[in-house]
Amino acid sequence: MSEWSKNELGQYEYAGGKEDWEKVEQIASLCEKFVIDEEDELVSDEERSCYNCRFRRWTKSAFVCMRR
């Protein structure tokens, strides 16, 4: 299974949901486009995580990466 799928708007949505903490840390550690979000938007204890990225937009089931 791919980590990403295109949603109905053509955006890349993460397939692992909102609780895949270790995997999104791995993805963010390799991402050259990662930018930490504002402090009040952080949700993960691990700073470098897709869940903490400024370019992450939450969806009903996971999040969309605006930089993919």
Q: Using one digit for the tens of pLDDT, what is the confidence trace for 57-67?
A: 999 999 999 99
Phi-psi region of 38 (alpha: psi -120 to 50; beta: other; left: phi over 0): beta
Give the number of domains in the chain: 1
**Domain extent for 36:** 4-65
The tokens of 61 are what?
């089931």
Residues contacting 26, CB < 8 A, separation 6+ = none
User: How far apart are alpha carbons 14 and 3 in whole angstroms?
Assistant: 6
Q: What is the pLDDT of residues 3-40, one digit of tens each?
A: 999 999 999 999 999 999 999 999 999 999 999 999 99
